[in-house]
Amino acid sequence: MRLPGLLLRAAVLVIAVALESSIMPYLAPPGVRVDLVLILTVLTALHQGRPGGAVWGFGGGLLEDLVTGRVVGVSALGKMTAGYLVGAVREVVFRDSLLVPVVLVAFGGTVNGLITLALASSFGIMGTGPAGFIRAEIVSVTLSAILTPLVHMCPIFPHARGVSDVREKA
């Protein structure tokens, strides 16, 4: 990726984190949010594959952790894994359809949620009960998935190439 594109996406990521931590509390009940960083991670993974997905997931998650004051690394690990897996999955299941990013965001969100739950439980950093967390995550992932097409239409995400193109390149 060229430097301007890289910087543009970095800026978008920063703004996404800022929006998430400042606007979402006004718009949704506690715990529920549109996970913009996850959407960006999944779309990047769709566009760039496993490495891009993992790197952007890690970067976005880490920024989220640092800005929101969470335990550093929880979101980073969850989103990095989500980005990596989505990047791996897209090489197998990618179809030129608007529904694919939606489904993959739901998939990535589920992965991220499960990892976050596992880490939070393991390290004793759960701020709420597991049931409440899971309910909020289900709503958040659903909302994020529904809003994915809007973000996908953003010019910074040129439509991912088809499987054939990827294979040709490989």
Distance CA 38, CA 153 (A): 16
In the complex, the smallest distance separating the C-beta of residue 76 from another protein, rounded to whole angstroms, is: 6
Note whether 1 and 36 are within 8 A (CB).
no
In the complex, the smallest distance separating the C-beta of residue 97 from another protein, rounded to whole angstroms, is: 27
Assess 51 for contact with another protein (CB under 8 A). yes
In the complex, the smallest distance separating the C-beta of residue 154 from another protein, rounded to whole angstroms, is: 18
**What 3 state SS string does 132-164 have?**
HHHHHHHHHHHHHHHHHHHHHCCCCCCCCCCHH
Assess 80 for contact with another protein (CB under 8 A). yes
Q: Which is nearer to another protein, 32 or 119 (CB)?
A: 119
Half-sphere exposure of 26 (CA within 13 A, CB side): 5
Among 103, 119, 147, 166, binds another protein (CB under 8 A): 119
Among 2, 3, 4, 26, binds another protein (CB under 8 A): 26
Distance CA 146, CA 168 (A): 32
**Binding segment toward another protein, per CB under 8 A, in 97-105, 117-125, 130-138, 147-155:** 117-125
Distance CA 62, CA 71 (A): 10
Q: Which two tokens stand for residue 167?
A: 């294979």
**Binding segment toward another protein, per CB under 8 A, in 62-70, 103-111, 131-139, 156-164:** 62-70
Angle at 1 between CA 165 and CA 97, to 5 degrees: 40
In the complex, the smallest distance separating the C-beta of residue 120 from another protein, rounded to whole angstroms, is: 9
* Count of residues of this chain found to bind another protein when the rule CB under 8 A is applied: 31
Note whether 35 and 140 are within 8 A (CB).
yes
Assess 151 for contact with another protein (CB under 8 A). no
* Residue from 51, 72, 158 nearest 119 by CA: 72
Residues that bind another protein in the complex, under the rule CB under 8 A: 14-15, 17-19, 21-23, 26-27, 50-51, 54, 58, 63, 66-67, 69, 71-74, 76-77, 80-81, 84, 119, 123-125
